[in-house]
With several copies, the nearest count.
Chain A
Amino acid sequence: MRSTVLTDEPGQDAYKAPNPGISAASPRRTGGDLVQLISPEGERISHPEFDLWVSDVTDEQLCSLYEDMMVIRRIDAEATALQRQGELALWPPLLGQEASQIGAGRALRDDDFVFPSYRDNGVAYCRGVEPTDLVRAWRGNASSGWDPYRHNIATQQIIIGSQSLHATGYAMGIQHDGADSVAVALFGDGATSEGDVNEAMVFAASFQVPVVFICQNNHWAISEPVRIQSHIQIADRASGFGIPSMRVDGNDVLAVLAVTRIALDRARKGGGPTFIEAVTYRMGPHTTADDPTRYRDANELEDWAAKDPIARLKALLRTKGLLTEEVEAKTQAKADEVARNLRAGVINMPDPAPLDLFKHVYSTPNSWIERQKDHYSRYLESFSGSTQEGAL
């Protein structure tokens, strides 16, 4: 595995060896090599082994990956704009992580099941979630936007790392069913510090269940650089649990596709869990409420802009003569249309009704809820005929 290695890793200090002269086992690095199939300049780097896993990717499919990344970036930008305009309460941009999310999302089979975090809108898009449904919760119209069973993707998790356990449990279910689908957990670099993510690896390894952990190391957990979570590479965490890991250039959509397919294939064949670290960068703020100028250097952002995942694929397409005017126009049109629909969907979204408050707390009737609902509806009715009626 001799793929090019990204040179600058601003977030990661080299591990400092303990006192010399002491022969105690020192931590070895695994996954130190970064899988890369497209260079930052857009050159296709061939690799005898990983190439096998993307050899079926036709030119057309390359263009389609490009379209996905363009569309999701556009959705992201539109949602950010909608937030700025007061139409959404908050939005967590994925800008810069398009290759990680589309590469992972497009590797999946329909019957795989994804447990995403709040930032994984690109993966949700790949699962067929409607863009309007992506923002429903961020507008405050619902606590989640879609039916997990319709798209085989859970709702977005906000409690950091929690979903890693859900994915592992789901994979226990898959194993129990004797099925060959896979559960996928998505989380960030910060999440690797949470007990839950580590416990998930314990369970996944103990039961050897078909789960893939995909950690998008975007170098930041809000204002904290990844070196606060770990001085060594995130991918190395997995080996201590007996879980093989791969470290991939998360801004290289082909490489992410390849390693995700490898991990999924291993899981399907009974090979157990795999951990993937997709090394990428959060180019935007943590959320629209965040101000990254308070904690990070503009230079760092510039460095990473040079490794932009879309620019990279674009360059490759250009070299391959695939970036025709027609493709550009079609992609643009698709992105425009999706953005238009998203905007329209948001603006026309009906507000929830007050008594929706009490829906779905339980799946069966509950005396406490019924009573409170009854009282609150009487309360609302008590305003009827008064001047405040219109307010309801």
Chain B
Amino acid sequence: MSKLTFARAINAGLRKSLENDPKVVLMGEDIGALGGVFRVTDGLQKDFGKHRVVDTPLAESAIIGTAVGLAYRGYRPVCEIQFDGFIYPAFDQIVSQVAKMHYRTQGRVKMPITIRVPFGGGIGSPEHHSESPEAYFTHTSGLRVISVSNPQDAYTMIQQAIASDDPVLYFEPKRRYHDKGEVDETADLSTALSMEKARVVTPGSDVTLVTYGPLVKTANDAAMAAADEGVSVEVIDLRSLAPIDFQAVEASVRKTGRLVITHEAAQSGGLGAEIAASITERCFNYLESAPVRITGFDIPYPYSKLEMHHLPDLDRILDGVDRALGRGNSLSGLEG
């Protein structure tokens, strides 16, 4: 066991993958000598060489498009997109090629591509540096999408993503990069929890609170605050955003009868909508109240002086918990 920051944990996972499989190749902008703008690939080019840790020209579509070609040739490319907001130039290659190639070729050509995306807000950045684009990809059949919330999962799941024969979008909560946590670097990957599975991170009985990535910590804090008020909140870290482990959420909601979902992405068409809809379908008769979504607003990510108003925080989550419980809340008295 060692205490690692989030960024170091991913770095360690990447290192392990590079060591274990000569077909693993890292590519992206500034990932070499600089080690990436967040230092996640720090030292890897030095240790594995310029052919395995490749500084590419500045073109996202080409990063993903050449990764498709490398995958065709039997490689396992791990692409870094420098910030969430820079993934859109590569959207076509991701949606029309990476996601569809296996289906298109009737399983003959595999796309074991991992796309690492530092995502989410809260670090005071200018435009395009704080987006939460995950719903674009969870709506794209053929992709797997995961997000990690702690250094141990970051370490394990980056290796699982790279080992997966399916393409994986790996969303890294950039505002947690410096958070530290215990990481067991010796743990056996084959016995690790499947990357498709959610995890109950705080058990509880009154309300189910579902989230992922950067807000898992906030949700846990909210659960602690709620406990002080005598409300028992069960926090579920989804880990996998596509597919979502609905069985885990369902099991919890059958118990609590109440659901709150929180994410930073805009509300309309965000993951919260899918979770609310699916859970309502699956356990309508168990629900005591409508699922509540506490999310970013339907606005472009705002300039940083206002971002704390946009991002769900402990208070807003607790207000959502109150809503789910039918207790007094900011919308009390409002109809519809």
Do A and B interact directly, with beta carbons closer than 8 Å? Answer: yes
Is B302's CB under 8 angstroms from A357's CB? yes
Q: Dominant SS at the B interface?
A: loop
Q: How far is the CB of A389 from chain B (nearest CB, A)?
A: 13
The answer, yes or no, to whether A255 is at the interface (CB within 8 Å) is no
Is A361's CB under 8 angstroms from B300's CB? yes
Number of residues on chain B facing chain A (CB within 8 A): 87
- Complexed CA–CA distance, A167 and B316 (Å): 42
Closest partner residue, chain A, to B101 (CB atom) = A155
Measured between beta carbons, the chain A residues less than 8 angstroms from B217 are none
Is B70's CB under 8 angstroms from A169's CB? yes
Is A140's CB under 8 angstroms from B65's CB? no
Is B58's CB under 8 angstroms from A165's CB? no
Is A199's CB under 8 angstroms from B62's CB? yes
Number of residues on chain A facing chain B (CB within 8 A): 82
The answer, yes or no, to whether A89 is at the interface (CB within 8 Å) is yes
Is A169's CB under 8 angstroms from B128's CB? no
- Could you say which of A17-25, A144-152, A274-282, A303-311 contacts chain B? A144-152
Measured between beta carbons, the chain B residues less than 8 angstroms from A356 are 306
Q: How far is the CB of A220 from chain B (nearest CB, A)?
A: 10
Measured between beta carbons, the chain A residues less than 8 angstroms from B33 are 223, 294-295
The answer, yes or no, to whether A162 is at the interface (CB within 8 Å) is yes
Chain A 170-189 interface 0/1 with B at a Cβ cutoff of 8 Å (1 = within): 11111011000001000000
Closest partner residue, chain B, to A356 (CB atom) = B306
Is A372's CB under 8 angstroms from B298's CB? yes
- Complexed CA–CA distance, A160 and B242 (Å): 28
Measured between beta carbons, the chain A residues less than 8 angstroms from B309 are 354, 357, 376
- Complexed CA–CA distance, A199 and B65 (Å): 9
- Complexed CA–CA distance, A382 and B105 (Å): 31
Closest partner residue, chain B, to A291 (CB atom) = B34
Chain A 205-232 interface 0/1 with B at a Cβ cutoff of 8 Å (1 = within): 0100000000000000111100011000
The answer, yes or no, to whether B256 is at the interface (CB within 8 Å) is no
The answer, yes or no, to whether A137 is at the interface (CB within 8 Å) is yes
- Could you say which of B1-9, B10-18, B92-100 contacts chain A? B92-100
Is A89's CB under 8 angstroms from B125's CB? yes
Is B108's CB under 8 angstroms from A149's CB? yes
- Complexed CA–CA distance, A200 and B93 (Å): 13
Measured between beta carbons, the chain A residues less than 8 angstroms from B298 are 361, 368-369, 372
9 smallest A-B Cβ distances: which pairs? A169-B69, A165-B65, A173-B73, A169-B66, A140-B304, A223-B34, A199-B62, A170-B69, A193-B57
* Extra A-B contacts (10), CB below 8 Å, given A137-B303, A375-B334: A89-B124, A89-B126, A90-B124, A162-B92, A169-B72, A173-B72, A183-B69, A229-B58, A360-B107, A372-B298
What are 19 A-B contacts with C-beta separation under 8 Å? Answer: A90-B125, A113-B73, A140-B126, A140-B304, A142-B106, A142-B303, A143-B303, A160-B58, A162-B93, A164-B65, A196-B92, A200-B62, A203-B57, A203-B59, A206-B57, A224-B55, A228-B56, A295-B32, A361-B103
